[in-house]
Chain A
Amino acid sequence: MVTLKINEHEVKVAEGTTILSAAKTLGINIPTLCNHPDLCVAGNCRVCVVEQKGARTLVASCATPVSEGMEIQTNSLKVRNARKHIVELLLSEHRADCTKCYKNQNCELQTLANEYSFGEHIFLDLVEDHNYVIDRSSPAFIKDDSKCIRCQRCVRTCAQLQHVSAIAVSHKGSEMKISSFHDRPMSHVVCTNCGQCVNRCPTGALTEKTYIDQVWDAIYDNDKHVVVQTAPAVRVALGEDLGYDPGERVTGKLVTALRQLGFDSVLDTDFTADLTIIEEGTELLTRLKKVLVEGDKTLALPMFTSCSPGWIKFIEHKYPHMLPNLSTCKSPQQMFGALAKTFYAKKRNLDPANVVSVSIMPCTAKKYEADRPEMRSSGYKDIDYVLTTRELAVMIKQAGIDFRTLEEGHYDSVMGVSTGAGVIFGATGGVMEAALRTAYEIVTGRPVPFKNLNIMPVRGMEGVREATIKIEGTMEEWRFLEGVELKVAIAHGLVNANKIAKAVSQGKAQYHFIEIMACPGGCLGGGGQPIPTNADIRQKRMEAIYAEDMHMDLRKSHDNPEVTAIYQEFLEKPNGHKAHELLHTHYTERESY
């Protein structure tokens, strides 16, 4: 333990603690910008400088570890002057058109400016001296360099959490900027569109590409029938943008709000999540049989999940030789889209040309996924618009809806019934758990041998997790699996996905089935979720997801009556011809550099 004084208060903290954290234990708040709890220390914005007795210069409290006998002042004249200057300097290179900015009122620079820089600006405006460009090339997000304050949170996110490094620092001095490979547009670089950078950008330099106006236009168009689907992770996070604490489940209010916004039908991605389990579970069991029993060399094991479009783009760029290992199942969003303009339209007696399909997703990569040329199996663009959780919150505010007073609504039918297995898709390990609940029962005729169906070994926040499930007492058809130890692995965050993919690629890992989610925590930590994000917030969202699961009457995908019905009425059988046509896809090898 180390004893030091901060603003004359003595405090004892563990060795290696930063001055910033030590101050926090005393309830002393030091402003920060480049610092982010998910990322390594940068110490480059200098907003958090404090005065250390005896030191030649001020020190960055986020980057300086405490030492015995240290005496710190966090609010001395010297500190205040420097901090005001730093905020003013940042503002001088930032296009501060706040009222036009998407991040207005959720901007860390704006908050600091409110505290330190009211009145006339001291310094010259440097924005016009730079030839800033706004990169709108990506379907998922917009990169506006004129709002960038070079804190490099995005750079660290992309490298440290996602192992992608689509963006990095280029040039130096006044020309220093956050750039892509050879300054290419973001649509033409190795970027997964995961949006984790967007989640951590303190200003409006990185924002999702919004489709709010297009969705309003569709809603107001009387010729259009607008269906909306909501992803599982949205219901445990939307509240954060509407004044609730993290971890609040707002499913019923979410449904009512969507109805009040004017959507013609409010449906649930969880339904196609259940459908995904049937398709993907069947695919896995079929692959196991063909590879293990029949010795089929054309099929690859282990099988990777394919729900996360960030992960899909990652493997297409980085491990294209392993594309055969990916499940051919579309993501629940895209399964929903394909069915909305076929099965649903038919059922509701609608011309699919007049159906507008909107999805509310915790994700920016879903915007890219919806634009993929493969995603038109209905004959139309299967999903017309993807909105993030954040965009939906904006729409709810625009409509003047008092969210707190809304009644609990229920999803419409068809394609609105779901099970707990569909809900847990929103958490890392959830797809695995849902798949096991179903596959185990198909093979053995009995539920998974875990209390309350909760398969605890696959849950948690550890980056890479492994579990083994022994299959015993198999039914006749699945006798070949008798006594087999089904080996599964789970990874979330692409840096962890890369660890597993690399191990599989090098033949160092013996798994049957692997779940990968591109974002930390799974979809609940997605790039479209409310800002800010940190481990604590993600943990609360995860707890809410599992609470939602426990709360459901049905907990297993194969128990979903609408799923059973859709096979009888429309899809014929799992992995059947029609299912393949609508619910499965293929992948594309992409460049890497």
Chain B
Amino acid sequence: MKNKGLTKVDLIFETVDVRKVMQKAFEMTSEEIIQQVLESGLKGRGGAGFPTGLKWKYTAAEKDPDKYIVCNADEGEPGTFKDREILDKVAPKVYAGMAIAGKAMGARKGFIYLRGEYRFLLPQLFVELHKFHKMIAEIGYDFNIEYRMGSGAYICGEESALFESIEGRRGEPRNKPPYPTTSGLFSKPTSINNVETLVTAMMIIEKGPLEYVKLGTKDSRGSKVFSISGDTPIPGIFELELGMTVQQFVNEFGDGDTKAVQVGGASGFCVPRKKFADTIIGFEGVPTGGSMKLFNSSRSMYNVLHNYLEFFTEESCGQCTPCRVGCQQLFKGIEKVKKGEAKSTYLNELVKLADTMKVASKCGLGQSVGNAFKSIVENFREEIIY
């Protein structure tokens, strides 16, 4: 299989003259900005991978005079810690991405919904925000950003639950449609983007889409910041070009005994050793919001799955039946099988349940619980049973 190999990139953390980029964007029309983001092929970096240019285009097309740009910084996926690093190191680039998005869509207000545990970043973030506001006002932007804090619920990273939370209600996902681009925060057209997406969009404006599309593959343009953890000698944050195989990734980051890689966190997929070479990290293979966990042969995949299911059992908002009860059933179900209190064939019923959760849950949380469950049960069935 042809692939791009493993290449380190420096785009997100690259030092740039933010003022210059803001000046450049200020002189562009809304259509030009959106066109450039569309041409770049950028897809959302939070994990779901919706084309960013389209999201912006839809929001821009709405007639409402009040629109919002929301930066999703509620980084909660187990094994992801790249947004913290981005905000810590290059917050002005995040702000710039938001202001550019605001200009493109005709929004004058932006909110950053920051994970509760990242509160310690705030003092520095405020200092930089103050400078940023001053700088863009000088250029002529009419755009203002405010912070809103999360309080530890994983579900509030889901876009519509995040809106509910900002609006002062319990963080529960809404019915869709309507989508945020038509009715989002405070029922106004809203573009909600991940921290990294906004920085990437800003860098696309800086470098031009032609430069950006040189990176990555047809389905997965550009580069991505990975949060690498688990059984690796070099855990941490690395920006890599998209298009590598899991094998190439493991060759670089593994400890020589890697038996599985969990790509995309608890809601992502488990790739076993036998599939490393054939699996591309990206939208044509296994997509990821950045979380890469490596497991070596000393790890029990039962424990890994048990841990994920316990997480989902607690972090489901509890609103819809498939997710609230389904998570508990999967969690208790594998315990029963492990203890021999249920037949091993009960796992087949649970796999069917995971399929139901995927198609019948209200939001992305319940819909993706089956990813980890099925990929671990199918590839490590013996570890679950014995």
Contact = CB atoms under 8 A, between A and B. Distances in A.
A565 interface: no
Given A86-B321, A89-B321, A173 B359 contact: no
Interface string B346-385: 0001001101101111100001000000000000000000
Highest count of chain A CB atoms <10 Å: which of B170, B320, B349: B320
Interface stretch (B18-26, B78-86, B263-271, B324-332): B324-332
A44 B316 contact: no
A123 B328 CA distance: 10
A57 B175 contact: no
Contacts of A152: 319
Contacts of A41: 175
A518 interface: no
A202 to B, nearest CB: 13
Nearest to A151: B321
Interface string B106-147: 000000000000000000000000000000000000000000
A44 B314 contact: no
A374 to B, nearest CB: 38
B328 A65 contact: no
Contacts of B294: none
A241 B222 CA distance: 66
B336 interface: yes
Given A43-B362, A46-B360, A126 B329 contact: yes
B82 to A, nearest CB: 25
B324 A176 contact: yes
B329 A169 contact: no
B322 A173 contact: no
A89 B316 contact: no
Contact of A57 (B317, B321, B360): B360
B325 A90 contact: yes
A44 B161 CA distance: 14
Contacts of A173: 312-318, 324, 327
A531 B301 CA distance: 50
B177 A65 contact: yes
Contacts of B9: none
Given A93-B325, A123-B329, A58 B318 contact: no
A57 B177 contact: no
Interface string A81-108: 1100110011011000000000000000
Contact of B329 (A43, A64, A65, A89): A89
Nearest to B357: A85
Interface string A438-481: 00000000000000000000000000000000000000000000
Contacts of B361: 46, 57
Nearest to B318: A176
A78 B360 CA distance: 10
Given A64-B177, A65-B177, A124-B333, A174 B356 contact: no
Contacts of B322: 46, 82, 85-86, 89
B155 interface: yes
Given A64-B175, A124-B329, A174-B313, A49 B318 contact: no
B90 interface: no
A562 to B, nearest CB: 54
B362 A60 contact: yes
A126 B314 contact: no
Contacts of A124: 329, 332-333, 336, 342
Highest count of chain B CB atoms <10 Å: which of A85, A86, A90: A85
Nearest to A33: B321
A122 interface: yes
B153 interface: yes
Contacts of B321: 44-47, 86, 89-90, 149-150
B318 A45 contact: no
Given A43-B175, A85-B360, A176 B327 contact: no
A82 B316 contact: no
B311 to A, nearest CB: 9
Contact of B327 (A46, A58, A78, A174): A174
B362 A44 contact: yes
Highest count of chain B CB atoms <10 Å: which of A60, A86, A93: A86
Contacts of B170: 168-169
A63 interface: yes
A209 to B, nearest CB: 28
Contacts of B332: 124, 126, 129
Nearest to A65: B177
A172 interface: yes
Interface in A121-176: 122-124, 126, 129, 149-150, 152, 168-169, 171-176
Highest count of chain B CB atoms <10 Å: which of A57, A64, A152, A173: A173
A60 B320 CA distance: 11
B318 A171 contact: yes
Nearest to B364: A57
Contacts of B325: 89-90, 92-93, 126
Contacts of B312: 173
Contacts of B314: 172-175
A402 B33 CA distance: 77
Interface string B291-320: 000000000000000000000111111111
Contacts of B329: 89, 92, 123-124, 126
A174 B360 contact: no
Contacts of A122: 349, 353
A126 B321 CA distance: 13
Contacts of B352: 81, 85
8 contacts: A44-B321, A64-B177, A85-B322, A126-B325, A129-B328, A172-B314, A173-B317, A174-B324
Closest 7 CB pairs of A and B: A176-B318, A89-B325, A63-B175, A85-B356, A43-B175, A173-B316, A82-B360
Interface of B: 153, 155, 170, 172, 175, 177, 312-322, 324-329, 332-333, 336, 342, 349, 352-353, 355-356, 358-362, 367
Given A124-B332, A168-B170, 8 more contacts: A57-B361, A78-B359, A85-B352, A86-B360, A89-B353, A123-B353, A150-B319, A172-B314
